[in-house]
Amino acid sequence: MARGRLRVLLGAAPGVGKTYTMLEEGSRLAAEGRDVVIAVVETHGRTATARMLEGLEVVPRSSVTHRGVTLSEMDLGAVLERHPDVALVDELAHSNAPGSQNPKRWNDVEALLDAGIDVMTTVNIQHLESLGDVVEQITGARQQETVPDRVVRAADQLEVVDLAPQALRDRLADGRVYPAERIDAALSNYFRLGNLTALRELALLWLADEVDSALKSYRADHGIASKWEARERVVVALTGGPEGETLLKRGARIAARSAGGTLVAVHVTSQDGLRAAHPGALAAQRSLVESLGGTFHQVVGDDIPAALVDYARGVNATQLVIGVSRRTRLSAALSGPGIGATVIRASGDIDVHIVTHAAAGGRLSLPRFSGSLTARRRVLGFVLALGGGPLVTWLLVAMRSDESITSDVLTFQLLVVLVALVGGIWPALFAALLSGLTLDFFFVDPLYTVSVGEPLHLLALGLYVVNAVLVSVVVDTAARRSRQARRAAAESELLATIAGSVLRGQDALQALVARTREAFMLNEVRLRAGDGSVLAVSTLRTASMARGANRNDLSPDAASVAASTIPVGDHATLELCGSDLAASERRLLGVIAAQMEQALEHRDLAATASEVGPLAVADRMRSALLAAVGHDLRRPLTAATAAVSGLRSTEVQLSSDDRSELLDTAQESLDALADLVTDLLDVSRVEAGVLAVSIHPVSVDDIIVPALDELELGPDRVELAMDDGELPPVLADEVLLQRVLVNLLSNAVRFSPHGAKVRLSASVFRGRVELRVVDSGPGVPSERRDEIFVPFQRLGDTDNSTGLGLGLALSKGFVEGMGGTIEAEDTPGGGLTMVVSLPAVEPMIEPAEKAAS
């Protein structure tokens, strides 16, 4: 049996019209003669969606009982038995009730597809498993129900049901998405305009990437190597040189000329025959790429032109931007075609732009022969030439014969090669000239005269010089590569050490300054702010300053004049005291300075966030307070006002019973209003840290009984389980502790199943008394337990008749104010257990008992 086809309707948020579109498409297919059934659809009370069910066959759902609650789920067996052509399955990420055939609805969909049934389903972008962290950053809420990306990616047809964010908010405000009591909370939380805009962009980009991946797969499956200009992809080749900024800006302008154009920068990590990439410049160019809306990539390849062209083809590039060669004219003439010419020949149908820049070309200059070998090796080369020449001459003169001239020449040639290997170019040239003169003087007729009678003698001398130059160039190149490798290893080790110091928890700025002083063997390194204050300092006398010390009160030594300064961003300076640094060391120092700039920026952002955080919390608190007060205070105020107005009315004659009932109503409403205001004032005192607490020894029994009486809870609702031994008193405020128990018990009773008892226990553990309020209700997910102690938080509960959501927040503040703790735990078998732990009063020891002990 052929596998069914999967069609997924993807939305950015609830309410964009996925279910409506699915039902509309199902009706169209049914009208065309296809056998269509509704396996499961959630209308969420939306009238327009419910009307779309008309005319379509609905497979009855199955009932699953879990913890005394009956839940309805899709009846997979019934749908398989019915075996329609197309099954409509809503909410692909839905988690089935425990006891169902499959744990997830997408597992049910897989079973339908395996049975040869086509499935049309819906899912929101926030339910994709790979996007959980991104969605949480946008909305602040972690999605519990997710579907693996592979399930959606495997769809035969994937389409986005799109709706503008403001249009969705308008639908929500009109009551076409959620019931009236949920509208205000939704608009002020999940359905903020910024959230919806970000989710919409996320959905569209995810779909665009999927389309791009499908296109790449199609081209690969069909062996299509030519470019398909679905959109402009501009690849800019960076070497780390100064021309990078010019190339990136030109590439960005090319990409911006077409809608949907993308900018990609690539750096091939290999020697280009000119100079190594400057890490600081490459980091700056990477930041520029990101600011231009592009991406930065690094590839490894020995053949740079081939690596560039292969990468460009791999990303389906339409344009390739490279810079004019920075080689000198002599270097270009000696080494042949450069990277640009090779890339153009290999690019095929990819357009190549060769952009000129300020660093293009170069003056005619000779290659440098010095600087790679150490002075010690050059001296050893001259010593070998001066000492080896006479020694070889003495040996060859002693063994000279008429046929030995060939071996004499080769022996001196070997000496020149050895000198070149040891000392490089200048000692080799010296040895070549010296050996040529020696051969002419001692071994070529006429002997003991320096004369050139044959042109071949000049040729021999020239060959000596050429051999010396070639060997010395190889030696110089090898020495340069060796020094570069050692330098790169040392730099990598230094940067790894600096990163390790920061990752191990050390202060980032102080670690960077300390490692800089140690790496470059300086006397002192200081990081100064723009106002002259010292942010971090490390001296040879004291490895680092202690945290928290006043870094402005420096000793005279520490205040010494810096030998050199390095700017760190726009608002700081790195001062170096000690020996001058080489140019190569300053290059590495530039990288460290860039890291310091990032650390300073991170510190400033953290400081700003710490300042904004409390303001944001306060703003959310005020918003929540206004939203809650708008409903919870209106009811008692309205009831009290109506009762008093009725009592004062002269138009209606009230009986004594009516007057008594109105007075009772007013009294109850005003009491409820007083309780709400008291809770609000208590929360404000807890948040401000000015809660008045009177702590003294209190008997737990004296608290439990009044709390049960206040809630009118008897043995039929609460089961008491006290410790077998006598409970010691606790250090607490009896009024606050009673209010804590009342809040916890009322919550437990409200969320417990009908007929189930709440269990209240008290026990002693390690010098503390623990009160446990245990219920067998739905419980709270472990990752959301901290939220239940936040003011105005009811974990999505939309029943505004249950109060402002302050009970647990007040309980936490009261318990902590008494020196105790309150925690939420899982109830074995299901439910939530609230644990209040308070310090127990230690029993007094009589003097006689002390003496006996």
pLDDT digits (tens, 9 = 90+) for 431-488: 877 877 787 778 777 777 777 666 676 676 677 667 767 776 777 777 667 766 766 6
3-class secondary-structure state, position 424 = coil
Q: Is 805 left (phi over 0), alpha (psi -120 to 50) or beta?
A: left
Tens digits of residue pLDDT in 348-378:
778 888 887 665 554 433 344 445 567 787 8
3-class secondary-structure state, position 336 = coil
pLDDT score, position 847: 42
C-alpha–C-alpha distance, residues 134 and 142, integer Å: 10
User: Contact 695/733 with Cβ under 8 angstroms?
Assistant: yes
Interhelix angle 455-503/508-520, rounded to 10 degrees, is 150
pLDDT score, position 367: 40
For residue 299, with 0-12 CB atoms within 10 Å meaning exposed, 13-18 middle and 19 or more buried, which class applies?
A: middle
Half-sphere exposure in the Cβ direction for 500 (13 Å, CA)? 7
Rounded average pLDDT over 417-429: 79
pLDDT score, position 88: 93
Ranges assigned E (strand) in 12-146: 36-40, 57-58, 62-66, 69-73, 86-89, 118-124
pLDDT score, position 607: 76
For the cut 70, the answer to whether the pLDDT of residue 328 exceeds it is no
pLDDT score, position 551: 39
Q: What percent of the chain is modeled with pLDDT above 90?
A: 6
Pick the most confident of 453-457, 654-658, 713-717.
713-717
Cis omega before residue 279 (within 30°)? no
Q: Can you say how many angstroms the Cα of residue 167 is from the centroid of all Cα atoms in its chain?
A: 31
Nearest partner of 426 among 480, 484, 385, 482, judged by Cα: 385
6 pLDDT band, cuts 50/70/90, is very high
658 pLDDT band, cuts 50/70/90, is confident
| Residue 497, both tokens | 């050490």
pLDDT score, position 216: 59
3-class secondary-structure state, position 522 = coil
pLDDT score, position 37: 93
Place of tokens 């520029």: 288
pLDDT score, position 613: 63
pLDDT score, position 86: 92
Tens digits of residue pLDDT in 582-591:
655 666 677 7
| pTM, to two decimals | 0.36
